[in-house]
Amino acid sequence: MDFLLSEEHQMAQKMVRDFAQKEVYPTIKEWDRKQEMNPAVLPRMAELGILGINIPVRYGGQGFDYITLGLVCEELERVDTTLRVVMSVHMGLNSMALLQWGTEVQKQKFLVPQARGEKYAAFCLTEPGAGSDVVSMQASAKRRGDVYVLNGEKMWISLATKAHHFLVVAKTDPAAGHRGLTAFIVTRDMPGLTTGDIHGKLGVRAGSTGWVAMNDVEVPVENRLGEEGEGFYIAMSCLDNGRYTVAAGATGLIRACLEDSIKYAHSRSTFGKEIGKHQLVQQKIAYMQQWYDAAKLLVLKAGWMKNVGQRNTRETSLAKWYATDHSVKAALEAVQIHGAYGFSDEYDVERYLRNSKGAVIYEGTSEIHQLMQAEYALGYRVDRPLRCELPAYDAAYWQAAPSTVAA
């Protein structure tokens, strides 16, 4: 494993850093207070190619590797979590699922416009009464000839009111447990689909979070992703990719807390010297540096494993668990270093703390990941091969124009 970033990595990293710092940061407090998403964000991310950063060029993407995706997510969340959430949902939970499980027709119809940023995508798994316990979902899909009829409600769906395409998991066989779930590509223009926003969130306020309701939505059979009964496995593979982006983003949040705390420690003085000279402040800074470096290494390992085509469910889970837990700790320490100013929105650390809490809940709570790691260590959990594994990164394929690559 090579820890050096290539010129391509650094180029993508700088491009996204400049975008986030120069175009989003100046107004992020305003949109956070409004609890609304800046309408310019998604079109601008599309224009820069961020929404298809690691999708092959032949499918409308930029052709970068999985490590680049992690670097992009870190830079985005360094400014605000809402930016990274877009990548987790549009890219990690939807577009990469199409790349892994989609037919060639589905990729051309849905993945290409998503990678180009012409269409936005969401992922619908969680319900009002079913989160970590996926099999308890109530959404149903009944086949009637050439269509499936979907009914039910999905909750806490990022980009619910912005997305054009939804990857929805529903029950096709209630008696079959996890083998009775099936995945579908649902589009906003299908009759019976309605969406709405959720307000009053603790954090991620400048982002779009909402609900998706389905009332006799007729979905063509050709919009089924994978085979009937594969929905659980598809959803779990989606989470492998989404958790990778969350881990990378949380690493960026730790870095934000660290960098802001260092800046404040140099500017604020007490008892005749800058507070960075006080040992207990130094201890907090040292811990944040340790947490950032450890989280970054875990994310890089998961990204490298994706690049070489190795199954990384355990490693991605560990990265997500560690990075998100420690982003909360880093935010708490950053607020403490800033003192009374950290308790107000005059400084960004207050927003970091609010934003950090969501990631230890969504895409697998910290408790779920703790249990997963214990089961791996004890030998109770073993990853079995999937029918469609996430493809390893091949630069020649990823960056080739459509006309030069065989179907």
SS3 at position 5: coil
User: Tens of pLDDT along 141-159?
Assistant: 999 999 999 999 999 999 9
Per-residue pLDDT band for 406 (boundaries 50, 70, 90) equals very low
Per-residue pLDDT band for 3 (boundaries 50, 70, 90) equals confident
Q: What share of the chain is helix, strand, coil (3-state, %, to 5)?
A: 55, 15, 30
> How high does pLDDT run on average in the chain?
96
Using CA of residue 210, residue 16, residue 393, residue 316, what is the dihedral sign? negative
**What is the reported pLDDT for 1?**
67
Residue-wise DSSP of 13-31 = HHHHHHHIIIIIGGGHHHH
**What is the reported pLDDT for 402?**
82
Domains observed in the chain: 7-120+394-404 (1.10.540.10), 122-229 (2.40.110.10), 233-378 (1.20.140.10)
Could you tell me the pTM of the whole model? 0.96
What integer is the mean pLDDT of 291-307? 97
Structure tokens at 181: 């779930």
User: What are the angstrom distances between the C-alpha of 285 and each of 5, 143, 288, 369, 380?
Assistant: 25, 57, 5, 27, 38
Output 295 or 401, whichever has higher pLDDT. 295
User: Tens of pLDDT along 314-353?
Assistant: 999 999 999 999 999 999 999 999 999 999 999 999 999 9
**What is the reported pLDDT for 404?**
56
| Identified catalytic residue from 75, 230, 315, 363 | 363
User: Tens of pLDDT along 377-398?
Assistant: 999 999 999 999 999 999 999 9
Share of the chain above pLDDT 90, in %: 96
Answer yes or no: 363 catalytic.
yes
